[in-house]
Structure 1
């Protein structure tokens, strides 16, 4: 089967955001409830390798849900490792055989075509999470927005347990990325809480 899309745009966008993050932002909140910037970076380290293995099928029969939150290890070389792993993921999914049959990631088995779209969603949405948490902008290609919006179009209004919270209502004329974020249970207008001086 021919590849259905290329991960390069989403991988480049996520890598660009990661490249601007500094360690003094590690404890900052993200749109993912209870997860700090550091926690989310650790998640990206794990998912980028897990979805590469899903492409090669080497994880079939032996994948497991990764640790999450503060228990997730973050390697010291995270700022170079994440872009390298994203490049490897992109290359792995360019192989036609990556898209054939079933595959596995995080202990979940599904058709490879669906797994690829889940991976694209993870890159784009967590890219936005990290960008907005650290005062950056995320570029998402129109093609990726169309793929992910179609993928999430039938999302239950109450969300998907373990994946997405309840859908956030977003105006129909809002930008495509905002509408996509709403389908994942995110508020496109999310901003990190700013501490205020009680004396002011």
Structure 2
């Protein structure tokens, strides 16, 4: 099986945005309800480790139900984790069989999209919370939208629990990223208070 998606552009966005987070930004609110920037960054450090392990088909001991505290070396650790994540999913075998992350096992081809979805959505969250630009590649938006839309049909509310908030309606002529954000329970117009 060929490599399905390149996670490098989304990982590069997260890395760029994180590099410009100032200490005074850490307590700022984010579009993720009840998650200040410090918790969002801790989640990014954790998920990048978990999805790198998933791409390499290695067990990961972390507990997805608990976000650890933000490590002191979060900047260098996040960069290293993102590089490892991208490298792991560049191997064709990462997309074959099954993969596990956060206590969930699913087809590896879906797990890779979930990893991308986490990078795109939380990259946007972090950019919004810290007043930075965000760009997502059109192919990444399409892949993530397909995943989010599939979980956003009436009656699918239970399957979204813990992954997305309630669907946020967006205008019919909204661009692809805004549609993805709406499916993922985010208001595309969110700004920090």
TM-score normalised according to structure 1 size: 0.90
Return the alpha-carbon distance in structure 2 between the equivalents of residues 20 and 167 of structure 1.
Answer: 30
The answer for the alignment partner of 1:176 in structure 2 is: 176
Corresponding residue number in structure 2 for 1:197? none
Structure 1 match to 2:66: 67
Partners of 1:85 and 1:66 in 2: how far apart?
20
Q: 3-state DSSP class of the match of 1:153? A: helix
TM score, norm. by length of structure 2:
0.93
Counterpart-to-counterpart distance in 1, 2:19 and 2:65: 23
Give the equivalent residue in structure 2 for 1:133.
129
Question: Which secondary structure does the structure 2 equivalent of 1:103 belong to?
Answer: strand
Q: SS of the counterpart of 1:33? A: coil
Is 1:55 equivalent to 2:51 in the alignment? no
Counterpart mapping for 1:92-131 below 5 A: 92-131=88-127
Q: Is the 8 A contact 1:127 1:138 kept in 2?
A: yes
Q: Which whole-Å CA distance do the structure 2 matches of 1:58 and 1:150 have between them?
A: 27
1:81 to 67, 73, 77: 77
Q: Does 1:156 align with 2:153?
A: yes
Runs of 4+ in 1 over 2 A off after TM superposition: 156-159
After TM superposition, give the deviation of residue 147 of structure 1 in Å: 1.0
- Aligned-residue CA RMSD (Å): 1.4
* Aligned counterpart, 1:196: none
Q: Report the number of matched residues.
A: 189
CA contact (8 A) 1:50 1:105 kept: yes
Greater gyration radius: 1
Query: Structure 2: which 5+ residue stretches go unaligned?
Result: none
Following superposition, the deviation at residue 156 of structure 1 comes to: 3.0
Trace 1:19-30 onto structure 2 (pairs within 5 A).
19-30=19-30
